[in-house]
Amino acid sequence: MTPSCPRGAVLLILDEVQKAPSWAEAVKRLWDEDTRARRPIKLMLLGSAPMLMQQGLSESLAGRFETLHVPHWSFDEMRAAFGWTLDQYLYFGAYPGAAPLVVAPERSTRYVRDSLIETTMARDVLLMARVDKPALLRRLFELGTAYSGQILSFTKMLGQLQDAGNTVTLAHYLDLLAGAGMITGLDKYAGAEVRRRASSPKLQVFNTALMTAQELRSFAEARGDTAYWGRLVESAVGAHLANAQAAGTLQFFYWRDRNREVDFVARAGRQVVAIEVKSGRERDTLAGTQAFLAAFPKSRALLIGDQGIPLTEFLSAPASRWVTS
């Protein structure tokens, strides 16, 4: 046995622990009792609501835990487990439970919508905080999947959602969806925290299956639509970075100055990388990259796709490796 797992130790696993009332206080009391009695128990707490888990850990179990983030499956994991091609990963996403159903795509779509999206919205998100407008929350999620990879101000979101809400509510709901690993809103990289937080967000899914399950396009239809497939490619790159950020290995943003833009900006420590994705869009990516490098001379650029790093290679390595190497 290793020093961290002595002989005779017992592993106790509690799944979905956040559902138990006052779980953190109960775990703390029992942990302290076992520690005083020198019982060799190793405890693993699992939960699907990261924000609730972190709150309970921080408030009651300070100094007693180590956090292990379990993100959405990567392309490398889906390929190793199910033999998926890159195109399958882009369209069907990274939910291993849906993988056996892709032979009947309509079942795979229903599984993602009913078993994953609906249960996460009804269970995890609504457990995190008070939600006065659940219908608005749901429509915001649908908007986020439809506009993944696009910059959209909260004011424009309100116009799209046609709801008498406000920008503060939308920002709060977007944070809840990010905490559940569904969609997030990227801040603009500007080198100053205040300016980043004041920017319009760039919407980004954590898993491309959330896009295709809402769109209801067949694989053939999606693959034949160059613009839509390009959005899937960019969103897959963004999802790879978003999951790395959730794990704490990097931070990532977008950047735009007037009509010049780069898709993503990733930062790890003092390393800053502008990431451009060649996905078939009609856009002067070179001008955007050059403008960013001129504005932030200590940064460097990374091109993914044609004439750059192959998409398969980028998605097969930890995202932080591309920033720190």
Residue range 206-260, pLDDT digits in tens: 999 999 999 889 999 999 999 999 999 999 999 999 999 998 999 999 999 988 9
- 159 and 258 fall within a common domain: yes
Using a 10 angstrom Cβ sphere, with 0-12 exposed, 13-18 middle and 19 or more buried, the burial of residue 275 is: buried
The conformation of residue 200, written as its DSSP 8-state character, comes to P
Strands (E), the chain: 10-14, 41-45, 183-186, 202-205, 251-257, 260-268, 271-277, 300-304
CB 206 within 8 A of CB 181: yes
Which residues constitute the domain of residue 134? 75-324
- 249 and 307 fall within a common domain: yes
Confidence category of residue 192, pLDDT binned at 50, 70, 90 = low
Domain assignment present for residue 91? The answer is yes
Crossing angle of helices 167-179 and 134-146, rounded to 10°: 70
Q: What percent of the chain is modeled with pLDDT above 90? A: 54
- How far apart CA 108 and CA 104 sit, in angstroms, is 7
- How far apart CA 273 and CA 323 sit, in angstroms, is 6
Domain assignment present for residue 55? The answer is yes
Domain assignment present for residue 68? The answer is no
The region of weakest confidence among 101-115, 122-136, 302-316 is 122-136
Q: Other C-beta atoms within 10 Å of 216: how many?
A: 10
**Over 80: is that where the pLDDT of 195 sits?**
no
Secondary structure element (H or E) that encloses residue 52, with its range: helix 50-60
Which residue type is seen at 76? D
Domain assignment present for residue 225? The answer is yes
Domain assignment present for residue 263? The answer is yes
- 140 and 29 fall within a common domain: no
- 146 and 213 fall within a common domain: yes
Q: pLDDT tens, 97-108?
A: 999 999 999 999
Mean pLDDT over residues 125-141, rounded?
85
- 41 and 144 fall within a common domain: no
- 192 and 223 fall within a common domain: yes
- 190 and 51 fall within a common domain: no
The region of weakest confidence among 53-62, 63-72, 136-145 is 53-62
Tokens of 200: 């319009």
Domain assignment present for residue 306? The answer is yes
Using a 10 angstrom Cβ sphere, with 0-12 exposed, 13-18 middle and 19 or more buried, the burial of residue 307 is: exposed
Confidence category of residue 279, pLDDT binned at 50, 70, 90 = confident
Confidence category of residue 51, pLDDT binned at 50, 70, 90 = low
Torsion of CA 236, 238, 239, 241, to 10 degrees: 130
- What's the maximum distance between 2 C-alpha atoms anywhere in the chain? 67
Confidence category of residue 43, pLDDT binned at 50, 70, 90 = confident
Higher per-residue pLDDT: 112 or 71: 112
CA 8-9-11 angle, to 5 degrees, is 140
pTM of the model: 0.87
* Mean pLDDT across the chain: 88
C-alpha dihedral sign at 216, 218, 222, 225: negative
Domain assignment present for residue 108? The answer is yes
Mean pLDDT over residues 274-282, rounded?
81
- Of 100, 131, 94, give the one whose Cα is nearest residue 116: 94
- 179 and 304 fall within a common domain: yes
Tokens of 203: 């919407």
- 46 and 94 fall within a common domain: no
- 134 and 280 fall within a common domain: yes
- 191 and 92 fall within a common domain: yes
- 17 and 120 fall within a common domain: no
Q: Other C-beta atoms within 10 Å of 101: how many?
A: 17
The region of weakest confidence among 92-101, 116-125, 287-296 is 116-125
Domains contained in the chain, number: 2
Domain assignment present for residue 304? The answer is yes
